[in-house]
């Protein structure tokens, strides 16, 4: 890509943001935290994938999904199924009445592996499935909803119902899914123990790498015409339609993309935490994921990452010291972000910090910086929401 093309894809402010985030995630945190805390950060980052998807869907496209846990869960379950099959080798499960199948299946009198588990013996299939299955699912929901112009609040409620349905199904079909306990006791990946500290470091960096990959995709989408179309649709859907666009297709695309991000996050979660359970599929976690996005700033892809980190870090700290106060703090956070800081941390940053940073840079480089001459101007929405 030409320099100019790169420049328009990655204007200076974003370049700085990328660099700072990379510095924090790749250098600062691994050096300053022990593996226990770093593993926690890795877990928080998996939620950042979901929040990132929500920035595109909700912040840009105005589509609020309260069922992102569904996709997070699908991705996580796909990964967990692969690992569980490896952990359930005939040698490991010799005491079962049917060796070679996951323990929970044995408890539920299954005597052979169900057909839809079979392909998960293959890592290649699993990796593809992690992205493709949730995307197809999102595509089906998207086509059904957006082609019929269901949107806004209705879409939110319906996705919530989908989350409820999937939770009940997973819990009810415990012979196939592990039920309420989920898929637990995952041990190795091709014989390599995933519970060691070394493995945790590897997975942390893999997670960071995938996150940057997704951030890159998100940045590309954001800076493309499609990104501007999303904003346009959020404001004046009819106008976009009467400019000759099939609006539903764009919504479906961004919803699928957000779901694929969430699914990758889910898979990373399984790798780092070591199990997957229906508690991440339901309504409550799905709504919490929205708040990560809102706290970070619903229009900022970097905000999504910081939001997920900050809220979860606060949750861990608060619940360690004042478990009773945690719900108060969380509730206040929801209300405060919505009412006082609709653009979240990113909004505060652009308002108070960015000018100073720019001054600082200007002073160092000796160049004047007031033109902000990028062709694509910054969005400075006030609570921009349909």
Partner 1 sequence: MFADYTTSELMSIFAMQGFAGLILFSVFVLMALGLAIIFGQMGVINMAHGEFMILGAYITYLTSNVFADYMPNLFGAYFFIAMILAFIAAGALGMLVEWAMIRHLYHRPLDTLLATWGLSLILQQCYRTIFGAREVGVTLPDWLMGSFQLTDIIEVPINGIFVMTLAVGISVAIAALMYKSRWGIQVRSVVQNRPMAGAVGINTARVDRLTFGLGCGIAGVAGSAFTMIGSTGPTSGQLYIVDTFLVVVFGGAASLLGTIASAFTISQAQSTMEFFLSGSMAKVLTLLFVVFILMLRPQGLFSLKVRR
Partner 2 sequence: MNSSNTDFVLAVEGLTVSFDGFKAVNDLSFYVDKNEIRVIVGPNGAGKTTVLDLVCGRTKATEGSIKFRNKELTKMKEHQIVRAGVGRKFQTPSIYGDLTVFENLEISFPRGRSVLGALAFKRDAEVLQRVNEVAGMIFLDERLHTRGDLLSHGQKQWLEIGMLLIQDPELLMLDEPVAGMSVSERRKTAELLRTITKDRSVIVIEHDMQFVAEIADKVTVLHQGKILAEGSAEHVKQDPKVIEVYLGH
Partner 3 sequence: MGTLKNAQAGLGGRLPSLMKGIASAVAGATMVLSAAVNAAPATSEVNTTGLAVTDDTVTVGILHSVTGTMAISETGSVQAEKLAIEQINAMGGVLGRQIEYVQEDGASDWPTFAEKSRKLLLQDKVATVFGCWTSASRKAVLPVFEQYNGMLYYPTFYEGLEQSPNVIYTGQEATQQILAGIDWVTKEKGAKTFYLLGSDYIWPRTSNKIARKHIEKLGLKVVGEDYYPLGHTQFNSIINKFKLKKPDVIFASVVGGSNVAFYKQLKAAGIDMTKEKPLVLTISVTEDEILGIGGENIEGAYASMKYFQSLTNDNNQAFVKAFKERWGDDIVIGDVTQAAYLGPWLWKAAVEKAGSFDVDKVREASPGIELTTAPEGYVKVHPNHHLWSKTRIGNAKTDGQYEIVYETDELIEPDPFPEGYQ
Q: Name the site residues for partner 2 (rule: CB under 8 A).
A: 5, 8, 220-221, 224-226, 228-229, 231-232, 235-236, 238-247, 249-250, 253, 375-377, 379, 381, 384
**Calpha distance 263→79 (Å, rounded):** 10
Using rule CB under 8 A, residue 128 touches partner 1: no
3-state secondary structure of 263: helix
Pick the closer one to partner 2 by CB: 323 or 377.
377
CB of 377 to partner 1, least distance (A): 24
CB 72 within 8 A of CB 262: yes
Using rule CB under 8 A, residue 181 touches partner 3: yes
Name the CA radius of gyration of the chain, rounded.
22
Specify burial of residue 218 (Cβ count, 10 A radius: 0-12, 13-18, 19+).
Answer: buried
CB of 104 to partner 3, least distance (A): 8
CB of 130 to partner 3, least distance (A): 19
Using rule CB under 8 A, residue 179 touches partner 3: yes
Stretch that binds partner 1, among 107-115, 120-128, 290-298, 361-369 (CB under 8 A): 290-298
Pick the closer one to partner 2 by CB: 224 or 359.
224
**Calpha distance 63→79 (Å, rounded):** 27
Look up tokens 């069922």; give the residue. 67
CB of 333 to partner 1, least distance (A): 7
Q: Which does 150 bind (CB under 5 to 8 A by kind): partner 3, partner 2, partner 1, none?
A: partner 1
Residues found in the chain? 386
**Calpha distance 84→186 (Å, rounded):** 6
Report the run of H or E that residue 97 belongs to, with start and end.
none
253: nearest Cα among 101, 84, 63? 63
Q: Would you state the structure tokens that stand for residue 159, as one six-digit string? A: 């996705």
**Calpha distance 336→334 (Å, rounded):** 6
Which residues neighbour 355 within 8 Å (Cβ) at sequence distance 6 or greater?
none
Task: Tell whether the torsion through CA atoms of 64, 47, 224 and 298 is positive or negative.
Answer: positive
| 300-329 positions binding partner 1, by CB under 8 A | 324, 327-328
Stretch that binds partner 3, among 61-69, 257-265, 322-330, 378-386 (CB under 8 A): 322-330
Using rule CB under 8 A, residue 308 touches partner 3: no
Using rule CB under 8 A, residue 342 touches partner 1: yes
Using rule CB under 8 A, residue 40 touches partner 3: yes
CB 88 within 8 A of CB 102: yes
Pick the closer one to partner 1 by CB: 10 or 333.
333
Report the run of H or E that residue 188 belongs to, with start and end.
strand 188-189
Among 33, 164, 348, 357, binds partner 1 (CB under 8 A): 164
Using rule CB under 8 A, residue 161 touches partner 3: no
Pick the closer one to partner 3 by CB: 59 or 69.
69
DSSP secondary structure letter of residue 296: H
Using rule CB under 8 A, residue 339 touches partner 1: yes
**Calpha distance 293→205 (Å, rounded):** 22
Angle at 111 between CA 110 and CA 112, to 5 degrees: 100
Using rule CB under 8 A, residue 338 touches partner 1: yes
3-state secondary structure of 189: strand
Using rule CB under 8 A, residue 331 touches partner 1: yes
Q: Which does 323 bind (CB under 5 to 8 A by kind): partner 2, partner 1, partner 3, none?
A: partner 3
Q: Would you state the structure tokens that stand for residue 246, as one six-digit string? A: 């099939």
Pick the closer one to partner 1 by CB: 40 or 283.
283
**Calpha distance 47→35 (Å, rounded):** 19
Give the residues lining the site for partner 1 (CB under 8 A): 58, 64, 66, 144-145, 148-150, 152-154, 156-158, 160-162, 164-165, 168-169, 171-172, 283-284, 287, 290-291, 294, 324, 327-328, 330-335, 337-339, 342, 383, 385-386
Give the residues lining the site for partner 3 (CB under 8 A): 36, 39-40, 43, 95, 97, 103-104, 106-109, 168, 171-172, 174, 179-182, 184-187, 195, 273-275, 277, 279, 316, 319-320, 323-324, 326-327
């Amino acid at each position: 890509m030409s320099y100019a093309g790169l420049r328009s894809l990655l204007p200076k402010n974003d370049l700085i943001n990328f660099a700072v985030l990379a510095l924090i995630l790749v250098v600062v945190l691994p050096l300053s935290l022990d593996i226990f805390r770093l593993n926690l950060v890795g877990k928080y980052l998996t939620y950042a994938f979901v929040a990132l998807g929500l920035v595109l869907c909700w912040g840009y496209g105005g589509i609020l999904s309260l069922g992102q846990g569904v996709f997070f869960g699908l991705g996580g379950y796909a990964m967990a199924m692969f690992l569980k099959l490896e952990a359930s080798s005939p040698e490991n499960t010799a005491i079962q009445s049917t060796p070679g199948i996951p323990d929970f299946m044995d408890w539920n009198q299954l005597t052979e592996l169900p057909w839809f588990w079979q392909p998960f013996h293959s890592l290649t299939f699993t990796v593809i499935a992690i992205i493709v299955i949730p995307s197809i699912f999102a595509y089906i929901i998207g086509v059904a909803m957006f082609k019929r112009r269901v949107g806004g609040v209705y879409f939110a409620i319906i996705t919530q119902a989908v989350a409820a349905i999937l939770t009940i199904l997973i819990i009810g079909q415990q012979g196939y899914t592990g039920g309420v306990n989920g898929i637990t006791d995952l041990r190795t990946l091709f014989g390599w123990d995933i519970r060691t500290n070394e493995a945790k470091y590897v997975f942390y960096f893999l997670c960071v790498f995938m996150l940057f990959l997704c951030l890159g995709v998100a940045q590309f989408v954001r800076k493309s015409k499609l990104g501007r179309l999303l904003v346009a649709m959020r404001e004046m859907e009819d106008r976009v339609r009467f400019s000759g666009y099939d609006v539903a297709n764009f919504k479906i695309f961004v919803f699928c993309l957000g779901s694929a991000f969430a699914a990758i996050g889910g898979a990373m979660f399984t790798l780092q935490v070591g199990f997957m359970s229906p508690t991440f599929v339901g309504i409550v976690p799905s709504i919490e994921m929205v708040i990560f996005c809102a706290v970070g700033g619903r229009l900022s892809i970097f905000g999504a990452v910081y939001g997920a980190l900050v809220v979860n870090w606060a949750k861990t700290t608060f619940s360690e010291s004042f478990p009773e106060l945690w719900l108060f703090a969380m509730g206040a956070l929801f209300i405060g972000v919505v009412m006082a800081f609709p653009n979240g941390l990113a909004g505060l940053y652009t308002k108070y910090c960015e000018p100073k940073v720019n001054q600082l840079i200007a002073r160092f480089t000796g160049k004047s910086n007031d033109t902000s001459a990028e062709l694509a101007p910054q969005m400075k929405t006030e609570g921009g929401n349909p």
